[in-house]
Structure 1
Amino acid sequence: MKLKILSLLAFLAVGMSSSYAGDELAIGTEGAYPPWSMADASGNVTGFDADVGALLCAKLNKKCHFVVQAFDGLIPALKAKRFDVIISGMSITAERKKEINFSVGYAELANMFVAPKGSDLAGIKDIDTLLKSLDGKKVGVQAGTTHAHFLEKRAPNADLRTYDTLDQMQIDLASGRIDAAFADASALQDFLDKPDGKNFQFVDVKIKSSFDPSLGEGIGVGIAQDNTALKADIDKALCELIADGSVGKASEKWFKSDISRPCK
């Protein structure tokens, strides 16, 4: 499934504002976080979240388009009504819920570190040893993510390096400018599958969101706090799409496993 990009600048230039009551739904996404969302040169957004967006739009009987925005600008842009929802691999956290609302969680993945093969981090098997071993290490994370907040809390003596995009972080990892990178396992697998990742490996410690609240409560659709009608409709639609296997099928396409999160 593919949805056309409407660039943020063009979106602002025509003075459009978010309006759920109409026939269209504007979806904010980063577009640079494979395999969740990827924006290509032809003007398409693909990835797991693009498929989730398309499924939702079909269920809601809405025409949809993506608005591409840097990840750390997604919440401010949603609050400014530049789009209706965020679908961008965004974890549900207590801090974010102070600013926006979320749908039910629709997916969940383990979080992991990648480090050079043979490094002192590579062979670690337990989380406490791993977090302690990050002292003084240059660790890359994407800015504004739960991964950054987690390391600020749990590894305060690490030399945290933040990046606007996953690609920027991976370039520094491949060139040796950082000692490790921390993200969700699917995003880092994409790096390991590339030639630049051949000399790197996962640290064999999977950190689930249940380990620490700063890692969130699964992945959800971001919605403005005052848009209660949209939240109710999206929650209902997502639960139906999860129950009938549609979200699981989409996740198997992109992650080779079912990462859908059942509605409670």
Structure 2
Amino acid sequence: MTTQNLTRRTLVAAASAAAFAFSFAGAVHADTLDLVKASGELKIGTEGVYAPYTYHDDKGNLTGYDVEVARSIAAKLGVKPVFVETQWDGMIAGLDAKRFDIVVNQVTPTPERRAKYLFSVPYTYNKGALIVKKTNNEVKSFDFVKGRRAAQTLTSNWGKLADALGAEIVGAADFPSSVQLVATGRADLTINSELSTLDFLRIQPNAPVKIVALWKDPIEIAIPLRKSDAALQAAVNKALDELQADGTLSKLALQFLGTDASKK
């Protein structure tokens, strides 16, 4: 073999290796949006026990406002929604571990969360309700929370509010557990979603709990994504903007929440 042929063969081999390496690196670093579209599935983290946002109906089907919003987003992306039910306190960790691509479960974009995650545009505005046992006439407003036992999921929006107000936090797995702790006297109060509480009281009008106050300002609810998923964030935002414009969000809010909480 001549020196000229050997050099040409070496250059071709080097080019092929470089192309393979580039292709491999591209596969490793592919944006989640590309992977979602390639697989045809959008994996969504949600609780499944937080009515009226995410729960199972009488037939055992997963539904609720957040669930149907997530389904609508997936439809806009042209993929199938795949729900991964997870307890709240493991929800954000599941996003980090790539168990799912997004979380749709009434998450507030707090400054601490924004430092670690990207967020979509808001799709819900929700007020916090102060809930106590019906026979409790001592806790009358949020001024009475300090020093009281508050049943809360530890890392939730409402748990953080209770902690900031000086409550002694009693850990709970989810909303029903929080209400149960209050009803049985193992906690003095819980701060939770006004809409979830009203829905709970509609279904169980004889439950021994009541709302005594509402937090002054509604909180924004959005969809968290990993910091590396800017393309998926843009696609989710586009979907939400379209769902807001065509009235889908308002329709779902009225259906599941009884009020248009999709608007401030």
Gaps of 5+ in 1: 1-17, 125-129, 210-215
Q: Deviations over 1:162-184 (max 9, x none)?
A: 21111211221221222211101
How far apart are 1:121 and its partner, in Å? 4.3
Query: Given the alignment, which residue of 154, 175, 179 partners 1:143?
Result: 154
How far apart are 1:33 and its partner, in Å? 0.7
- After TM superposition, the structure 1 = structure 2 runs for residues 209-224 of structure 1, keeping only pairs within 5 Å, are 209=218, 218-224=220-226
Would you say the 8 A contact 2:36–2:79 is kept in 1? no
Look up the match of 1:27: 44
Letter in 2 for 1:76: A
Could you state the TM-score of these two structures normalised by the residue count of structure 1? 0.80
Q: Deviations over 1:86-126 (max 9, x none)?
A: 1111111111112221100111111111123353346x3xx
Look up the match of 1:170: 179
C-alpha distance 79-202 of structure 1, shift in aligned 2 (>3 A): same
Letter in 2 for 1:31: G
Query: Given the alignment, which residue of 212, 220, 229 partners 2:231?
Result: 229
How far apart are 1:43 and its partner, in Å? 6.2
CA distance in structure 1 between the aligned counterparts of 2:229 and 2:80, rounded to whole angstroms:
18
Letter in 2 for 1:243: A
CA distance in structure 2 between the aligned counterparts of 1:195 and 1:43, rounded to whole angstroms:
19
- After TM superposition, the structure 1 = structure 2 runs for residues 63-212 of structure 1, keeping only pairs within 5 Å, are 63-121=80-138, 124=140, 130-153=141-164, 155-156=165-166, 158-195=167-204, 197-209=206-218
CA RMSD of aligned residues (A): 2.1
Look up the match of 2:23: none
Would you say the 8 A contact 1:27–1:65 is kept in 2? yes
Could you state the TM-score of these two structures normalised by the residue count of structure 2? 0.80
CA distance in structure 2 between the aligned counterparts of 1:65 and 1:75, rounded to whole angstroms:
17
How far apart are 1:131 and its partner, in Å? 3.1
Would you say the 8 A contact 2:129–2:214 is kept in 1? yes
CA distance in structure 2 between the aligned counterparts of 1:160 and 1:197, rounded to whole angstroms:
26
Percent identical residues: 28
How far apart are 1:260 and its partner, in Å? 0.6
Look up the match of 1:5: none
How far apart are 1:140 and its partner, in Å? 1.5
Letter in 1 for 2:247: G
CA distance in structure 1 between the aligned counterparts of 2:57 and 2:116, rounded to whole angstroms:
30
Aligned length: 230
Q: Higher Cα Rg: structure 1 or 2? A: 2
Aligned to 1:108, the other structure's residue is in SS state: strand
Letter in 2 for 1:47: G
C-alpha distance 136-255 of structure 1, shift in aligned 2 (>3 A): same
CA distance in structure 2 between the aligned counterparts of 1:26 and 1:195, rounded to whole angstroms:
32
Which shows bigger deviation, 21-30 or 225-234? 21-30
Aligned to 1:247, the other structure's residue is in SS state: helix
CA distance in structure 2 between the aligned counterparts of 1:170 and 1:197, rounded to whole angstroms:
13
Look up the match of 1:10: none
Q: Deviations over 1:3-49 (max 9, x none)?
A: xxxxxxxxxxxxxxx63242111111111111110146976321001
Letter in 2 for 1:151: A
